[in-house]
A = this chain, B = another copy of it.
Amino acid sequence: MKFNIKDVAKKAGVSISTVSRVINESKVVRQETQEKVLKAIEELGYKPNAIARSLKIKNTKTIGIMIPDISNQFYPEVVRGVEDIANMYNYNIFLCNTDLDEEKEMKYFDVLAEKQVDGVILMGNIVSEELYTKIMFYNIPIILIGTDYENLPSVTIDNTKAAKSIVSYLIKKEHNRIGMITGKNYDPVVGVARLNGYKEALKENEMLFETELVVEGGYRFKSGYEGAKKLLSLSDRPTAIFVANDEMAIGAMRAALELNVKIPDELAIVGFDNIDMSEKFYPALTTVAQPMYEMGAIGMRVLTKILNEEAIETHKIVLNYSLLERESS
């Protein structure tokens, strides 16, 4: 039930090179012959073996995408962007969940290399030195999305500026005690950057940075929930909280709602990312939107360019964020 190029050749009464030519749409083959071959292909239900092809031509039309966890709301959207563009250029994608675990990252990278992927897309908060060494060694085209490292190509947004702008927005709305629930403080490009944006906004408006107003979170719902409970138990409560990502922000809203604190009247809450859920929650969350789908799509697009060795303007792409004012502020 599985035929190869030889079978087609025999059936069509031509050589295998001719069959190969029609498969690859070489212009040189005569119309008649082409039709004969096409007919044979059709009749046998023949499909070329991409593995054999890859071995010969040394590319596989597949790329690997390493992300922390597909079941974390942030990633599906960017993966979708990647996949759409990949599909458009006839690439398939290997999905790898790393859980931010360095060992898993290393292992997956090895496997992807062995499977001869043409390139890889990497997400996660930091790239370890080990991984970087490996990347350099194998010399596989790579692009980072949502993070940045050394001279590797990347697509990101300016997290500091974005954070600063949403905190400034809060200040403009007359809030003068603004709390923050941060991300991970060992993570420079997201966690620290957003915290810095918060600090900068305060400074620019001559407001004091008070340590009791900032609590470290961990990006997940629970830490937002707990962070908010902590901030709301302060004797001198904040009137607004900037939460470093939407999932935590939703946790924070939940905490406030449970305590019967009115949003936004008694407490404004703003998030970061614009995950799907943020607009569906009630009240809908004011947030800084990262263009997640676009980050994926553009990342993949750039990767195809790199793979085709097309000229590329810059290897560090910084996309625009946007402020989405909704009901929570």
> Which residues does A use to contact B, with CB under 8 Å?
1, 45, 47-52, 54-55, 60, 62, 69-71, 73, 75-77, 79-80, 83-84, 87, 92-97, 110-116, 137-139, 221, 250-251, 253-254, 257-258, 276-277, 280-282, 293
Q: A55-B52, A254-B282 are in contact. Are A1 and B139 (CB under 8 A)?
A: yes
Q: Which residues of B contact A87 (CB under 8 A)?
A: 97
In whole Å, how far is A50's beta carbon from the nearest beta carbon of chain B?
4
Contact status B47-A55, CB under 8 Å: no
Give CA–CA (A51, B250) in the complex, Å: 45
Q: Which residues of B contact A114 (CB under 8 A)?
A: 47-50
Taken together, the copies of this chain in the complex come to 2
Q: A80-B71, A92-B96 are in contact. Are A282 and B280 (CB under 8 A)?
A: no
In whole Å, how far is A285's beta carbon from the nearest beta carbon of chain B?
12
Known pairs A55-B55, A71-B79, A83-B95 / 17 extra A-B pairs, C-beta < 8 Å: A1-B139, A48-B114, A49-B114, A50-B114, A51-B51, A52-B55, A70-B70, A70-B83, A71-B276, A75-B76, A79-B95, A80-B97, A87-B97, A92-B96, A92-B112, A93-B94, A282-B282
Give CA–CA (A150, B62) in the complex, Å: 32
Contact status A80-B70, CB under 8 Å: yes
Please name 15 pairs of A and B residues whose Cβ atoms are closer than 8 Å in the assembled complex, sorted by A: A1-B138, A47-B114, A48-B114, A49-B55, A51-B54, A51-B55, A51-B60, A70-B79, A71-B79, A76-B76, A79-B95, A87-B97, A92-B112, A251-B280, A254-B282
Contact status A92-B77, CB under 8 Å: no
In whole Å, how far is A283's beta carbon from the nearest beta carbon of chain B?
9
Q: Which residues of B contact A70 (CB under 8 A)?
A: 70, 76, 79-80, 83
In whole Å, how far is A76's beta carbon from the nearest beta carbon of chain B?
5
Contact status B95-A50, CB under 8 Å: no
Pick from B48, B77, B137: contact of A71, CB under 8 Å: B77
Pick from B52, B62, B97, B221: contact of A94, CB under 8 Å: B62
Name, among A45, A51, A80, A250, the residue most crowded by chain B CB atoms within 10 Å (CB to CB): A51
Give CA–CA (A112, B75) in the complex, Å: 24
Q: A96-B92, A280-B221 are in contact. Are A115 and B55 (CB under 8 A)?
A: no
In whole Å, how far is A36's beta carbon from the nearest beta carbon of chain B?
22
In whole Å, how far is A305's beta carbon from the nearest beta carbon of chain B?
22
Q: Which residues of B contact A84 (CB under 8 A)?
A: 97
Q: Which residues of B contact A281 (CB under 8 A)?
A: 281-282
Q: Which residues of B contact A93 (CB under 8 A)?
A: 94-95
Give CA–CA (A200, B136) in the complex, Å: 62
Q: Which residues of B contact A293 (CB under 8 A)?
A: 71
Q: Which residues of B contact A50 (CB under 8 A)?
A: 111, 114-116
Chain B residue nearest to A97 (CB atoms) is B83
In whole Å, how far is A27's beta carbon from the nearest beta carbon of chain B?
23
